[in-house]
């Protein structure tokens, strides 16, 4: 499959010995998808590397997309659009926040610095702004532009899933080079395609690796499983493979999401501190911190044995941490 070719691959595969010691095993590794490059990276770079081939084919001069105010997807879309010589227009939903930001911070600050046009609408993360995207596209067409619209479906497309099937191959090769077999992979389950791609990739490779998703609260687990099955079916066809997933292949844990999407929990805040202080690895407040809580809890419950090898997939999102800075201020006497 064709790629735009803007990501930095392979991303590092690293041991986490101090966290491993803190938790008493198993052997812990991290796949550094936060280091895919381009405007601070993240897992969306790998997905967009496939998806934006369509922009190249259409000779688009604008990309229009949507997500939340603190969206990693939007930041990485803007970044890749710039690298491809296009402009970006973002329709950002307030999502977990009650109102439009008075001061830009985190991802939206980076979007603004990179020159994106930004329209903020009051809407939850699981609501669909497709009509608004199309209206904005029509305005641009009337001005003579040729926009490509990446609506909510783009981030859960077969191409997005295929990119992470390929990432699973990359990770398995790195683990093999390190002399370990991967017994488990733990990853954030936001919309589904990253986990779906990892499951599909493992199955295509004939691996017995257990890929566990931690639901971060954006979508209901059963609807995510529907998305994964549909997207993986399309991704498999793109590879020319007959591999299929069943519902039983998909493991998603619900109990670590907290009150809602984008709302930190005490445990997720503590996980950010712990991993930073043990491994100098910075997690984000929306996805990877809740995923790390899931991993730590599963280890303490004995769900991974001490002699097993488990990989945590760091999907990025670090810029959002700065929009949550009030949770990490020093405690003054």
Of the chain, the end-to-end C-alpha distance in Å amounts to 58
Q: What is the pLDDT of residues 143-166, one digit of tens each?
A: 999 999 999 999 999 999 999 999
Cα 187 from Cα 2, distance rounded (Å): 26
What mean pLDDT comes out for the span 172-181? 98
Starting from the edge strand earliest in sequence, which strands make up the sheet with 27-32, in order? 13-15, 27-32, 309-314, 184-189, 210-215, 251-253
Q: Do 138 and 219 share a structural domain?
A: no
**Please, how many CA atoms are within 13 Å of residue 155, restricted to the half-sphere of its CB?**
21
125 domain-assigned:
yes
Domain membership flag for residue 7: no
**Is the pLDDT score of 333 beyond 90?**
no
Task: For residue 4, tell me if it sits in a domain.
Answer: no
CATH number at residue 54: 3.40.50.1100
Q: Which structure tokens are listed for 315?
A: 């999907």
Give pLDDT, residue 332: 67
Residues 110 and 171 occupy one common structural domain? no
Distance CA 219, CA 239 (A): 27
Residues 37 and 52 in one domain: no
Residues 68 and 96 grouped into a single domain: yes
DSSP 186: E
In a domain, 3, yes or no: no
Identify the H or E element spanning 43: helix 43-51
Q: Do 163 and 183 share a domain, yes or no?
A: yes
The lowest-confidence range among 40-49, 90-99, 284-293, 302-311 is 90-99
Looking at the structure, tell me whether residues 169 and 179 fall in a common domain. yes
pLDDT at 125: 87
Q: What is the per-residue DSSP string for 138-153? A: HHHHHTT--EEEE-GG
**Per-residue pLDDT at 80 exceeds 90:** yes
Select from 155, 184, 199 the last residue of a domain: 155
Residue 203 lies in a domain: yes
Q: 2 lies in a domain?
A: no
- The pLDDT tens digits for 219-232 are 999 999 999 999 99
Do 83 and 101 sit in the same domain of this protein?
yes
Average pLDDT of span 156-183: 98
Residue 33 lies in a domain: yes
Percent of the chain scoring above 90 in pLDDT: 95
Q: How far apart are CA 137 and CA 91, in angstroms?
A: 11
Task: State pLDDT tens for residues 15-74.
Answer: 999 999 999 989 999 999 999 999 999 999 999 999 999 999 999 999 999 999 999 999
52 and 36 housed in the same domain: no
Cβ-contact 314, 13 below 8 angstroms: no
Are 271 and 261 in contact, with CB atoms under 8 Å apart?
no
Does 101 share its domain with 249? no
Q: Quick check: is 8 in a domain?
A: no
pLDDT band at 1 (very low <50, low <70, confident <90, very high): confident
Q: Does 256 score more than 60 pLDDT?
A: yes
The last residue of a domain, from among 155, 173, 196? 155
Domain boundary among 123, 155, 187: 155
Instruction: Please state the domain count of the chain.
Output: 2
For residue 213, pLDDT beyond 70: yes
Task: For the beta carbon of residue 215, count every other beta carbon within 10 angstroms.
Answer: 24
pLDDT (0 to 100) of residue 288: 98
Task: Compute the average pLDDT of residues 262-289.
Answer: 98
Q: Are residues 206 and 309 in the same domain?
A: yes
Q: Are residues 145 and 178 in the same domain?
A: no
Per-residue pLDDT tens digits for 105-148: 999 999 999 999 999 999 998 889 999 999 999 999 999 999 99
Average pLDDT over the chain reads 96
Q: How far apart are CA 78 and CA 112, in angstroms?
A: 10
Distance CA(64)–CA(58), nearest Å, equals: 14
What is d(CA 298, CA 111) in angstroms, rounded to the nearest whole number? 36
Predicted local confidence at residue 241, as pLDDT: 97
Proportion of the chain above pLDDT 70, given as a percent: 99
Residue 99 lies in domain: 44-155
Is the same domain home to 168 and 140?
no
């Amino acid at each position: 499959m064709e790629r735009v070719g803007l990501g930095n691959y392979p991303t590092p595969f690293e041991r986490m010995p101090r966290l491993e010691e803190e938790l008493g095993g198993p052997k812990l590794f991290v796949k550094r998808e936060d280091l895919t490059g381009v405007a601070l990276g993240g897992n969306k770079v790998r997905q967009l590397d496939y998806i934006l081939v369509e922009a190249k084919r259409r000779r688009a001069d604008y990309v229009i997309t949507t997500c939340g105010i603190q969206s990693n997807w939007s930041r990485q879309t803007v970044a890749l659009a710039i690298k491809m010589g296009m402009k970006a227009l973002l329709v950002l939903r307030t999502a977990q926040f009650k109102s439009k930001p008075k001061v830009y911070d985190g991802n939206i600050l980076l979007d603004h610095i990179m020159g994106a046009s930004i329209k903020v609408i009051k809407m939850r993360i699981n609501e669909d702004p497709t009509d608004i995207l199309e209206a904005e596209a029509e305005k641009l067409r009337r001005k003579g532009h040729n926009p490509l619209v990446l609506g909510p479906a783009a981030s859960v497309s077969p191409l997005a899933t295929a990119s992470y099937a390929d990432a699973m191959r990359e990770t398995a090769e790195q683990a093999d080079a390190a002399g370990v077999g991967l017994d488990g992979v733990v990853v954030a389950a936001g919309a589904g395609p990253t986990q779906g791609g990892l499951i599909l990739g493992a199955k295509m490779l004939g691996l017995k690796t257990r890929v566990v998703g931690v639901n971060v609260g954006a979508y209901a687990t059963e609807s995510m499983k529907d998305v994964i099955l549909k997207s993986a079916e399309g991704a498999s066809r793109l590879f020319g493979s007959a591999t299929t997933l069943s519902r039983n292949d998909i493991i998603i844990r619900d109990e670590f999401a907290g009150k809602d999407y984008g709302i930190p929990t005490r445990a997720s805040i503590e996980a950010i501190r712990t991993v930073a202080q043990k491994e100098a690895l910075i997690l984000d407040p929306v996805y990877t911190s809740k995923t790390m809580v899931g991993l730590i809890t599963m280890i303490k419950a004995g769900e991974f044995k001490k002699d097993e090898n488990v990989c945590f997939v760091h999907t990025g999102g670090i810029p959002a941490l700065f929009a949550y800075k009030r949770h990490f201020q020093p405690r003054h006497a």
